Amino acid sequence: MFWWNGVLAPTAAAAMNTPDPLAHVTPEVRQRPAPQALLDALAGRFEARFSTARAVREQHGRDESAFTTVPPPAAVVFAESVADVQDTVRLCARYKTPVIAYGAGSSLEGHLLAVQGGISLDVSRMNRILRVQPEDLTATVQPGVTRKTLNEAIKSAGLFFPIDPGADASLGGMAATRASGTNAVRYGTMRENVLALQVVTPQGEAIRTGTRARKSSAGYDLTRLFVGSEGTLGVITEVTLRLYPLPEAVSAAICNFPTIADAVDTVIRIIQLGVPIARVELIDAHTVALVNRHARLQLREQHMLLMEFHGSPAGVKEQAEAVQNIAGEHHGADFDWADTPEERTRLWAARHNAFFAAVQSRPGCRAISTDTCVPISRLADCLLASVAEADASGLPYFLVGHVGDGNFHFGYLIDPGNHDERARAETLNRQLVARAIAMEGTCSGEHGVGLHKIGFLRDEADAGALAVMRAIKRALDPHDIMNPGKILG
């Protein structure tokens, strides 16, 4: 077996006998060869839907993470059906070759990188909405359907699917990473909103993990096991989702605060009082400035909460009044309301584009994203200590947060070729994760583990829990062909 080690240059730090801040996040690259016989068999089976073209492979060998230099997969298969997925997996199983499912390519933690070589299985053409059952508030979709496509399709039935990670991600990928986003404070995450899956196992069998019943106690919760398993236990080929009636009234507001602490304390109080706010996002003053430039907005460049209320007209009014009172107690300035759908869309687009606004503010940079999530009472402490560290580092960064869940993201903007910047960013990340874990939080609220957080997961989970995860992986995928090298390393 050929080993290709050291994607990132070894550092002088190790030689100096101090901990290498990159050791924790340097992926192990171990190229398992894809036998020619496998490539021939896939080419024969898929013809024009099989590609070994360099550009296609390179496009499929990366994601939105700051990992850029892992060799691409050996080939790409474009699946259009469950049978395509099964045949690809069976062929790969025969040759013990890795399979990496690929949806929209919007993951953030190196999930898609072929660290052990193998075949990228692109399911983006499996993009049919198979069934919408408005009377049951459910939909079943193929994994390549994106969340925006689904929402467009169900709008006329008065329904929506709330999980909104920002990117127009594929619903298969969102299930695979247990995604959430801005609406999670009210509607939950993919954990709560996937009713059932069809999954192709590492043996190539298509199984169903549940039914369309809203709840079930019938056996082990395979749905929740595959949600968040990042393609390491099987390939998701159908997703059955919970839908929600479009709220009768929606209102969005922004409110500025003199300090981040004031904004965060406002959110903590909103949650503790049980106000059913649908979205409550923090954007720090510096990031508001980036967003203004990128989206040509004139938002006041102060720390800001961006909020949305869903309900009946009276209910929305009541929620908004309660929140205004709370914000007033924490030095919140007057609310600016966005009541028309157009205004709201513009505001949320700006929020969602914060990542790109930040990345474009420094040409050629990549963002190293943090994703910690802590109990709400520790949010201010955790966030403010990390802001101080980031400010002291001198690295440019952005800061946004789904603060209603205790989840926030720093994005450290680094020159990917600059070892020192990368090391400084990862030191900040590591300090933040250590702090979050000490506060009974998690290293990943919604992005998943991928490559980037393998070391952090080992810090967070106890050895026994990791052993259980490994036992499950070994039992279901004994030849380690499903997205190997991710989550558990």
Site for a copy of itself in 393-432 (CB under 8 A): 405-407
Task: Tell me which residue of 296, 223, 301, 211 sits closest to 256, measured CA to CA.
Answer: 301
Joined tokens for residue 103: 């949806």
Please choose, out of 59-67, 119-127, 217-225, 385-393, the segment that lies near a copy of itself by the rule CB under 8 A: 217-225
CB 362 within 8 A of CB 319: no
CB closer to a copy of itself, 39 vs 167? 167
Tokens at 422, concatenated = 């990368």
The answer to whether 162 contacts a copy of itself (rule: CB under 8 A) is no
Residue 465 within binding range of a copy of itself, rule CB under 8 A? yes
**Which 93-122 positions form the footprint of a copy of itself (CB under 8 A)?**
none
180, 183, 266, 427: residue in contact with a copy of itself (rule CB under 8 A): 180
- Beta strands at 249-257 and 336-338: parallel, antiparallel or unpaired: antiparallel
Q: What letter represents residue 184's amino acid?
A: A
The single residue among 40, 58, 152, 221 that binds a copy of itself, judged by CB under 8 A, is 221
Point out which span in 11-19, 83-91, 223-231, 296-304 binds a copy of itself (CB under 8 A): 223-231
Task: Answer yes or no: are the C-beta atoms of 163 and 190 closer than 8 Å.
Answer: yes
Which residue number, 58 or 221, has a Cβ lying nearer to a copy of itself?
221
CB 398 within 8 A of CB 292: no
Q: Rounded to whole angstroms, how far apart are CA atoms 444 and 454?
A: 11
Interacting residues with a copy of itself between 32 and 91 (CB under 8 A): none
Q: Residue 170: beta bridge partners?
A: 146
Nearer to a copy of itself, 189 or 287 (CB): 189
**Among candidate residues 141, 137, 97, the one with its CA nearest the CA of residue 119:** 97
Q: Does 268 bind a copy of itself (CB under 8 A)?
A: yes
Q: How far is CA 382 from CA 95, 226, 253, 374, in A?
A: 47, 30, 26, 8
Question: Cβ distance 137 to 221 under 8 Å?
Answer: no
- Which residues within the stretch 330-389 sit at the binding site for a copy of itself (CB under 8 A)? 371, 373-377
Contact 284, 260 (CB under 8 A): yes
Nearer to a copy of itself, 31 or 444 (CB): 444
Instruction: Classify burial at 318, counting beta carbons within 10 Å of its beta carbon; exposed 0-12, middle 13-18, buried 19 or more.
Output: middle
Q: CA 350, CA 364: separation in Å to the nearest integer?
A: 21
Please pick, from the candidates 12, 53, 297, 471, the single residue that binds a copy of itself as defined by CB under 8 A: 471
Report whether 247 contacts 210 (CB < 8 A): no
- Binding status of residue 216 toward a copy of itself by CB under 8 A: yes
Other CB atoms within a 10 A radius of the CB of residue 301 amount to 16
Please pick, from the candidates 20, 28, 168, 192, the single residue that binds a copy of itself as defined by CB under 8 A. Answer: 192
Residue whose CB is less far from a copy of itself, 228 or 485: 228
The yes or no reply on residue 457 touching a copy of itself (CB under 8 A) is yes
Contacts of a copy of itself in 302-321 (CB under 8 A): 312, 314-315, 318
Q: Which of 446, 481, 482, 483 binds a copy of itself (CB under 8 A)?
A: 446
Q: Is 212 in the site for a copy of itself (CB under 8 A)?
A: yes
Q: How many residues bind a copy of itself (CB under 8 A)?
A: 92
Q: Which is nearer to a copy of itself, 244 or 356 (CB)?
A: 244
Among 31, 120, 146, 189, binds a copy of itself (CB under 8 A): 189
